[in-house]
Structure 1
Amino acid sequence: MTVPASLRMALHTLRLSYRADPRVTCFVGVLVLLQAGLVAATASAQRWLVDAAGARMLAGLVEAVVVGILAYVMQVVGQRLALNFRNDLVNRVQMAMEQEITETAARIPTIEHLERAEFLNQITMLRRGTVALTTTGWAAAYAVSAGVGLCLSVWLLADLHPLLTILAPCALPILVLTNRARKIQQQAFDATAEPLRQEAALHELCLRPGPAKEVRISGNAERLNRLAQQLWTRAAREEGAARLRGLGIEAAGWALYYGALAVTLVLVGHLMASGQTTAGGAVLLISLAGQLRTQQQAVVDAITQVAAGGRIAEHHFWLTRYASASRAGVLPPPTRLTRGIVLDRVSFTYPGTEERVLDEVDLVVPAGCSIAVVGENGAGKSTLIKLLMGVLRPTGGTITVDGVDLTRLDASGWAAASTGTLQDFLKLQVPVRESVGAGDLRKIGDVVAVDGALRRAAAAQFVHELPDGVETLLGRLFGGIELSHGQWQRLAVARGLMRTSPLLLVLDEPTAALDAQSEHDLFELFTRQAREYGGDGAITVLVSHRFSTVHLADRIVVVSGGRVIEQGTHPELLAAGGEYASLYRLQAEAYGHRARPRRHPA
């Protein structure tokens, strides 16, 4: 028998709370448990007070007053203290839970899940429900306390007359129907996760400086805003309808309770008229009848909170299971490459699609070799790069590093042994030193290492011309300097060159924002560095759409339609007269045509 997710999460969050502050957790726990008997103690003190006054018992009267005051003060002050300290603990647990979620997601060795809609929806629901998740433990504690208090109240009622306990079973439909109503609302909440995520993404396009320019130039801002508004309206309508249905279901439960309460009040009048209870007993009954609804509501609310946390916990445990199932390898990567990287019938299909992006690719990259991967847009070049770096796993075939399957290598170790610049690089709006140093966090504060990376990326000159050099704050978000796209890309290249002894250096369209001459100069620099890295068996992979520069690589690989259709040296491929030769000559003619000076009329 499996433990319900709500109970597992309640225990987990209480452990996190205890880990955050053991003494405060124990103190709040004691206060919560004490609340269980205070309602019964207050009602009993009132009964005692009335009976003592009727019998003219001064000592009993004083004792009843003292007990009643203590119970009331402990109830009011205890609730306030427990609430304040509990809120502080919940905030700490929320921080710990968010860190736990982030670390769990970070342990997943690939990025394939980030391209799955179902994963993104699960994460969205998990983040939206973090507060409900973190309060599950204390909600369970309050449910136990309120339940015990309710049992004490029912016991006191039964002591007066067994029929008065009719109020207890009338609380059960409230629990069932309220939980049903919450479930309907949560299902609607879950169903709207994707449209709300899409709505946020559309509005983000209009708010981020990069895409916002294209959105406004194309005149699509109003249309995107309208689409986002439609998504939000649809989600709000679904959630609103679910709340109304839930309200109707809850109202049915409370109608039954109030009917039972009316019967109880009639019975109270009969007991008093027949002399079967004293005035103190009548006061006890009236007091408990008024408090019983509050206690029942407390039980319902607490159990509802636990149930809501349990539903969110399902997403949390799903993430944990997913991370566990996506086990990374444990073998350390080699300190140097001796044989190289081999792709054996490697295929890859993105989640939710059937078309293969790569189709049974066979490729041998010897140690110490530099290769250039060329091909038209959509040929599969970037996917091939991601597979080599280990952030995607083949859906067919294997990739081996010095004869060891890449999936068996420790993911963090292989990431530390790899470096480079990807096509969709980051524009980190921090000082230049941190933006470049992020390529090797161990040296993020090493100005000498940062300067070396800037020189290797041919970016030192423009950085030193900035107002504060490597300490210049970048980006307008925090009031820094805005760079051109080409300058941002040079910094990204420098960030990729922070590690000076990688096993795999990947440069995926690293100079797309530069002119042809600047790109050629950088590729010559990369080629020299590749030869330096090659002495340790390192492999350099260059991806470019400009064929005029890739001839500097030791080997050129032509990708088309997800397959390697040609490979060899630049002279070999030209002599073969295949697609590479055709595309090379086509680009050469285009650049030559652009370079011809215009003739002006006399």
Structure 2
Amino acid sequence: MRSLRIAWLWMTTSFKAAPLLMTISSVLVALRAVAAPTQTYGVSLLVDGLAGDRSSTIALGIGIIVGGLAVSFVADVVGWPLQDTAQERMAGRVHADLLDVTTGIPGLTHHERPDVADRLELVRERAWRMGVGAEVLLWAFATVANTVTVLGLLGSVHPLLLLLPLLGASRIWSAYVSSTRQHKAWEDSLPQERLVDRLIEVSKDARTGLELRVFGLGRVLVERIFSLQTERYRRRVEAARWGGKVDGTVRLAFGLAYAAAVVWVIVRARDGLQTAGDVVLVLLLAPQVDQMTGGIAQNVHWVGEVVRSFSRYDWLREYAKDNSWRTSTDPAPARLSSGIELRNVGFSYPGSDSAVLSNVSLTLPAGSAVALVGENGAGKTTLVKLLARMYDPTTGHILVDGVDLATISPDSWRSQLSAGFQDFVKFELTAREVVGIGDVSSESDDAVRAAISRGEAESVVAGLPLGLDTQLGKKFTDGVELSGGQWQRLALARAFMRERPLLLLLDEPTAALDPDAEHRLYEQYAAAARIAASETGGVTVLVSHRFSTVRMADLIVVMHNGRVEEVGSHEDLLAAGARYAELFELQARAYR
């Protein structure tokens, strides 16, 4: 059943990309495939007509030969440009579909599981092979038409000659098993390939250049890459050698069998059992049969590659469907009345049995500013990801005004969020776009400049040669590179694009700034949070290691080993004299 689905996906994708072009091309390739063996039949008629002095047979033979030449000429002149265009459209459609499917997966699970990441990498790497699917499909149509014609002509001479193409099928088998073995070697070496790609990326990335040189890692990286490459190629060369031996043996046997068949037809012709035209027909069909079976054998690899690529694409579509949270259809609320509640929430990352969060129960009141504190690895960032619904809890529930977050559409929920992260993305776009993508629905100049002002990034924009129109990133001509702090200020401005979010997530977004700049920015965030709280009941969640910032929050949540250990205001937690008070005293002592 799945094989039929994959074949249907291949065919429909090809024809949907260019329906008219594919239809015309299919007819032309079929005519071109039939033309050559039909002309051979015309030659055989011509020989028989000359031998028997039959004018009608001579005329028919000449007519078939000329007609075949005309069909081949038209098919070549018109067909090749159409096929090239159809293939280009097919490639464009495949890449657009892949982008649509992968970006449509709402969660991050596929990035966290190595087995899924390997398969996704294989889908992306081999996507171009689906792009040639239109060409391979046309070749398949041509092969069917050519095979039927050749079989018909050989059978007209003698039914036993139909065994020759069947013997040629052994070459198809050898090509298939060789292709399968090489594909297995390729897939087995995929983890090394991913690691090699990553190491090459590290070795040429300007951001890693300093440490690579300081610690003398250049030779270490080169040796590691060489070792991995050697192992990759060893597997693939062994598979290729094995396939070459099998294919060579089978091809030799087929060649000997066809030679014997030609001798047999000649002997029958001497005995008067076959005509001279029959001998000519078999002789001229010999290279065509060899070409037909050889072509099939050679293209079995490509058919296999296209089928496997569409099989992976089918897997990706099914994976995206299974992980699309299709049952989450409720709209996000326009405002919060009670707030967000975590009820016995537990979470483990995909592929791991270790719990990152355990039995977390917590209420984030509507209109409140909540700070998450704790040592590294306490689970703060994971909790932020769950609130943004990048994952669903492994156990327990997150309720938004009493409604399970798992029932709310992820797109609807995220349209009500804004966020700033420590590991922000350096989007190498124009400065206007870098900020404006924080809210693509209101990417006007006024909104962008207002966000830049709130994020205190005016000095960054003022220093750019073309202002907001400046291309950022050294990878582009005339692109401008920014410092870490400048990139972070633009990322903070991006977080200010949505003025009234229901949930504002700030996961150490000012780590690259000095304490004074951080304090000023958090005052801006606090002012924005108060406005959002009064108008929409919005909640602000802050993760920071600086307690001078944390103390501004209405509610402070102390996390330890994936659990909530303390909850309260700054004054209450200091008075309790527990973990928060200890952490606060340690940091305060460092500033004295």
TM-score by structure 1 length? 0.93
Q: Residue type matched to 1:405 in 2?
A: D
1:141 positional shift: 4.1
1:177 positional shift: 2.2
Aligned match of 2:339? 340
Q: 1:213 to 1:392 in 2, by over 3 A?
A: farther
Q: 1:302 to 1:84 in 2, by over 3 A?
A: farther
* Identity across matched positions, percent: 34
Alpha-carbon contact 1:9-1:133 (below 8 Å) kept: no
For residues 152 and 454 of structure 1, what CA distance do their matches in structure 2 show? 71
For residues 121 and 2 of structure 2, what CA distance do their matches in structure 1 show? 26
For residues 289 and 101 of structure 2, what CA distance do their matches in structure 1 show? 44
1:216 positional shift: 2.9
Alpha-carbon contact 2:346-2:355 (below 8 Å) kept: yes
Alpha-carbon contact 1:9-1:137 (below 8 Å) kept: no
1:173 to 170, 174, 177: 170
Aligned match of 2:249? 252
Alpha-carbon contact 2:169-2:293 (below 8 Å) kept: no
For residues 301 and 443 of structure 1, what CA distance do their matches in structure 2 show? 55
Once the two structures are superposed, what CA deviation does each residue of 1:159-179 show, in whole Å capped at 9, x if it has no partner?
Answer: 222332220220222222221
Once the two structures are superposed, what CA deviation does each residue of 1:200-231 show, in whole Å capped at 9, x if it has no partner?
Answer: 11111122222333333332233123222322
Alpha-carbon contact 2:346-2:360 (below 8 Å) kept: yes
Q: 1:591 to 1:397 in 2, by over 3 A?
A: same
Q: How does 1:269-308 map to 2 (within 5 A)?
A: 269-308=266-305
Once the two structures are superposed, what CA deviation does each residue of 1:353-403 show, in whole Å capped at 9, x if it has no partner?
Answer: 221111121111011110111111121111111111011221111111111
**Worse-superposed segment, 310-319 or 268-277:** 268-277
Aligned length: 588
Aligned match of 1:596? none
Q: Residue type matched to 2:570 in 1?
A: H
Aligned match of 2:358? 359
**Worse-superposed segment, 513-522 or 49-58:** 49-58
Q: Residue type matched to 1:469 in 2?
A: G
Aligned match of 1:515? 514
For residues 120 and 128 of structure 2, what CA distance do their matches in structure 1 show? 14
Alpha-carbon contact 2:557-2:568 (below 8 Å) kept: yes
Once the two structures are superposed, what CA deviation does each residue of 1:563-595 show, in whole Å capped at 9, x if it has no partner?
Answer: 111111000111111111111111111122xxx
**Are residue 469 (structure 1) and residue 467 (structure 2) matched?**
yes
Alpha-carbon contact 1:143-1:303 (below 8 Å) kept: no
1:79 positional shift: 4.3
Alpha-carbon contact 1:436-1:450 (below 8 Å) kept: yes
Once the two structures are superposed, what CA deviation does each residue of 1:522-541 show, in whole Å capped at 9, x if it has no partner?
Answer: 22221121111111100001
1:464 positional shift: 2.2
1:74 to 42, 66, 71: 71
1:462 positional shift: 3.4
1:138 positional shift: 4.4
**Are residue 27 (structure 1) and residue 9 (structure 2) matched?**
no
Aligned match of 2:456? 458
Q: 1:197 to 1:416 in 2, by over 3 A?
A: same
**Worse-superposed segment, 292-301 or 537-546:** 292-301
Aligned match of 2:396? 397
For residues 486 and 309 of structure 1, what CA distance do their matches in structure 2 show? 47
For residues 309 and 472 of structure 2, what CA distance do their matches in structure 1 show? 39
1:421 is paired with a residue of what secondary structure? strand
Aligned match of 1:110? 107
Q: 1:469 to 1:149 in 2, by over 3 A?
A: closer
Aligned match of 2:582? 582
Q: 1:371 to 1:537 in 2, by over 3 A?
A: same
2:422 is paired with a residue of what secondary structure? coil
Alpha-carbon contact 1:432-1:471 (below 8 Å) kept: yes
Alpha-carbon contact 2:505-2:540 (below 8 Å) kept: yes
**Worse-superposed segment, 360-369 or 59-68:** 59-68
Q: 1:4 to 1:174 in 2, by over 3 A?
A: farther
Alpha-carbon contact 1:548-1:588 (below 8 Å) kept: no
Alpha-carbon contact 2:86-2:134 (below 8 Å) kept: no
1:5 positional shift: 5.1
Q: 1:159 to 1:66 in 2, by over 3 A?
A: closer
For residues 84 and 404 of structure 1, what CA distance do their matches in structure 2 show? 57
Aligned match of 1:83? 80
**Are residue 541 (structure 1) and residue 541 (structure 2) matched?**
yes
For residues 6 and 489 of structure 1, what CA distance do their matches in structure 2 show? 46
Alpha-carbon contact 1:346-1:394 (below 8 Å) kept: yes
**Are residue 200 (structure 1) and residue 197 (structure 2) matched?**
yes
2:567 is paired with a residue of what secondary structure? strand
1:77 positional shift: 4.8
1:170 is paired with a residue of what secondary structure? helix
For residues 315 and 123 of structure 2, what CA distance do their matches in structure 1 show? 10
1:169 is paired with a residue of what secondary structure? helix
1:114 positional shift: 0.8
**Are residue 315 (structure 1) and residue 312 (structure 2) matched?**
yes
Once the two structures are superposed, what CA deviation does each residue of 1:143-201 show, in whole Å capped at 9, x if it has no partner?
Answer: 24323322322222222223322202202222222211111111112222221111111
1:440 is paired with a residue of what secondary structure? helix
Q: Residue type matched to 1:503 in 2?
A: L
2:184 to 173, 182, 187: 187
For residues 73 and 216 of structure 2, what CA distance do their matches in structure 1 show? 60
Alpha-carbon contact 2:25-2:138 (below 8 Å) kept: no
Q: How does 1:93-108 map to 2 (within 5 A)?
A: 93-108=90-105
Residue segments in structure 1 that go unaligned for 5+ positions in a row: 593-602
Alpha-carbon contact 1:347-1:358 (below 8 Å) kept: yes
Aligned match of 2:495? 496
1:76 positional shift: 5.3
Q: Residue type matched to 1:64 in 2?
A: G
Residue segments in structure 2 that go unaligned for 5+ positions in a row: none
For residues 145 and 214 of structure 2, what CA distance do their matches in structure 1 show? 65
RMSD between aligned alpha carbons?
Answer: 1.9
For residues 73 and 85 of structure 1, what CA distance do their matches in structure 2 show? 18
Aligned match of 2:157? 160
For residues 236 and 281 of structure 2, what CA distance do their matches in structure 1 show? 43
Alpha-carbon contact 2:92-2:131 (below 8 Å) kept: no
1:267 is paired with a residue of what secondary structure? helix
Q: How does 1:116-127 map to 2 (within 5 A)?
A: 116-127=113-124
For residues 298 and 66 of structure 2, what CA distance do their matches in structure 1 show? 27
